[in-house]
Amino acid sequence: MSAEIQLIAPCGMNCGICLAYLRKERHCPGCHGADTNKAASCIKCVIRNCEMIKISRSKFCYDCGRYPCPRLKQLDKRYRTRYRMSMIENLEGIKSIGLQAFIANEKKRWRCNKCGGVICVHRGYCLVCGPSEE
């Protein structure tokens, strides 16, 4: 599995745009990586540890008979409200256009126009350039 593919969590989160992944100190390896430097909430994540994900041939929630489960709906609502990003929309995108095309779209969507770096979903700006002065 390529590094880019490995950064897409079962819930549809692109770990490559997460603050914990982008930070320099205590860099999180993403949902599929080792638990070193992960927040306790990520290690204990109900979705990441879901038995349906573990036994499924697919690595994404959309293949589950309970999709979208209450936990995914709750997470999606929080991210849509706070960060203008939807886990469920991400999953539907992966399902409809495929993982490679989804990743290509994510690279464009979260690319900093100033330096070409990555815009952090949790901050809304590139951690290299900082907040826009507009």
Averaged pLDDT, 119-126 = 96
| Nearest alpha carbon to residue 15 among 23, 24, 6 | 6
What's residue 133's pLDDT? 65
Domain range summary for the chain, segments of one domain joined by +: 3-109
Determine which of 41-45, 92-96, 124-128 has the lowest per-residue pLDDT on average: 41-45
More confidently predicted of 64 and 133: 64
Report the predicted TM-score, pTM, of the whole model to 2 decimal places: 0.90
In which residue are the tokens 């080792």 written? 34
Residue 35 in contact with residue 43, Cβ under 8 Å? yes
pLDDT at 40 over 90: no
What's residue 120's pLDDT? 97
What's residue 134's pLDDT? 55
| Nearest alpha carbon to residue 41 among 63, 65, 61, 19 | 19
Query: In what helix (H) or strand (E) does residue 6 lie, and over which residues does it extend?
Result: helix 3-6
Q: What percent of the chain has pLDDT over 70?
A: 96
* Residue 12, burial from CB neighbour count under 10 angstroms (0-12, 13-18, 19+): buried
Question: Rounded distance, CA 6 to CA 120, Å?
Answer: 18
pLDDT at 1 over 70: no
What's residue 85's pLDDT? 97
Summarize pLDDT for 51-97 with one digit per residue, the tens.
Answer: 877 777 678 999 888 899 999 999 999 999 999 999 999 999 999 99
More confidently predicted of 50 and 72: 72
